[in-house]
Structures are given as structure tokens and as C-alpha cells.
Amino acid sequence: MQNPAIKASGLMKSFGEGEAKTLALRGVDFEANFGEMIYIVGPSGSGKTTLLSVLSGILRPDSGTVSVEGVDVWHLSADQLADFRLNKIGFVFQDYHLFPRLTTAENVAIPLILKKKDWDKAVEQAVKYLEIVGLKARAGLPPVKLSGGEQQRVAIARAMVSEPDILIMDEPTASLDGDTGHTVVGFVHRNLLNQNRCIVVVTHDNRIFDFATRILKMEDGQLARSEV
């Protein structure tokens, strides 16, 4: 039997101290399987982005466990965790996080450069992924020359260029109009979701709910219920 893509248990995370202490996660259990595109929804401040950060190995929980493909990520050393994220997890940030002094292709190539791949070969592979997201013609342009929807597709290409098994997307349509957002997420669902990949999405955008396998609602640091 195949292990779940992600399995978390008893996640607790707080910020601040004393009277200013805020509980962002309150004993969260979470499981996602390969072949699923799971949405996490809920009001601002409910802990959605904190949960994504903990699941992806970016933010250490106060307590609880996170297993990705059977590996307990928070028992890895810092170097092991960095390598694990680089090879297994692609993260699409809400505000793209593109480097303005690099070309579009160079931005996409960053994960490969970090894996010590030859620069020219990394850029060549990046261009192939830009072609997949329909932006091959923009490969030599800086991000400032791209529209918001195009920049989001660049961020998706960068997250996918090293072919990770887990794709995590934080508010992927927040800066996009409705039609563009639906097109971008539809592209992800159509081209990137398969039986060997798991996609987890945090969103407020009910216009893209039709692409979800499952929808989990988060309230006050807890996953309150699921909707089909």
C-alpha cells in the first residue's frame, strides 16, 4: 500500500509570548494522497498559510509530526531538510517571488542551479517548462515585462522544473482577475495533477473550487470540516 503523500498529526504552532501569544495551529491533523488536489479554505488569520509552511518544511512546529512520502521532515538535519524540499516539494508563493534582475528563464532555472546543474543546461530545461506554461516567447524578458497571470505561470514553471512530487500553492489567484485565475489553476489541474503527484492549495477564491478533489475548511487554527 502506497504511503500518503503528506501526513501530519497534532500540529501546534504559536507566535509571540505572554499576553501577545497567538495560537496559529491547534492540534491539526492532515492527510493528502497522491492524485489529489486539496484546497484549504477559511478566513484570514485562521492558520492556512502557517499550515502550508509547516507541511512544506519551511516553518518548524512547536509540536506534532509531518511525514512527506514516509519521511519525518522535522527529524531531518537543516541540510537534509533543504535538500528534501529542493527535490520533493515545489512551492508557489502568493506574490511570485521572482528576481527582477534575472530573465524569466533564469528565474525558472533557480531550483536546478541550486542542485548544481550547469547554468546553460538549467536555462535550457527552464525554457522547456516555460513552453509547457505557454511562455517560451517570454523566456528572455525580465519579470517586469510580464502580466500578473504570466508571472504566476512563471512561478508555477519554477516550482515544477525539478519535477517535485508535491506542489504547494499559497493563494495562487490572489493577484489575478477571475478569468485569469481560473485559467492558471485549470492549467495546473489539467497538466500537473496525476497519480504520482499531490497538489495542496490555500485559497479564498470560490471561482476555482471546481478543480478541487477535496476542500478542507480551517477555522481558528483547526481543520473544522471537509466538503465534497
Q: Mean pLDDT for the chain?
A: 90
**1.10.357.10, 3.40.50.300, 3.60.20.30, 1.20.1630.10: CATH of 6-227:** 3.40.50.300
* 62-103 per-position pLDDT tens digit: 999 999 999 999 999 999 999 999 889 998 887 788 999 999
Query: Mean pLDDT throughout 97-112?
Result: 94
Q: Is 166 exposed, middle or buried (0-12, 13-18, 19+ CB in 10 A)?
A: buried
pLDDT value, residue 160: 86
What pLDDT score does 227 carry? 55
**Could you read off the pLDDT of 183-222 as tens digits, one per residue?**
888 888 988 899 999 999 999 888 899 999 999 999 999 9
β-strand 37-41 against 214-219: which pairing, if any? parallel
**pLDDT at residue 103, rounded to an integer:** 96
Residue 228 has what pLDDT? Answer: 44
State how far the Cα of 166 lies from the Cα of 95, in Å rounded to an integer. Answer: 20
pLDDT at 104: 97
pLDDT on residue 24: 94
For 71, other C-beta atoms within 10 Å of its C-beta total 16
Percentage of residues in the chain having pLDDT higher than 70: 97
Residue 125: helix, strand or coil by DSSP?
A: helix
Helical packing angle, 148-160 and 119-132, nearest 10°: 120
**What is the value of pTM for the model shown?**
0.88
Letter for the amino acid at 158?
A: R
Residue with the bigger pLDDT between 18 and 1: it is 18
CA 173 vs CA 5, 50, 112, 120: distances in Å: 24, 18, 26, 32
The pLDDT of residue 41 is above 60: yes
Q: Which tens digits make up the pLDDT trace of 158-173?
A: 988 988 899 999 988 8
Locate all alpha helices (DSSP H) within 26-147, ordered by sequence.
48-55, 78-88, 104-114, 119-132
123-150 tens-digit pLDDT: 999 999 998 888 999 999 999 999 988 8
Is the per-residue pLDDT at 2 higher than 80? no
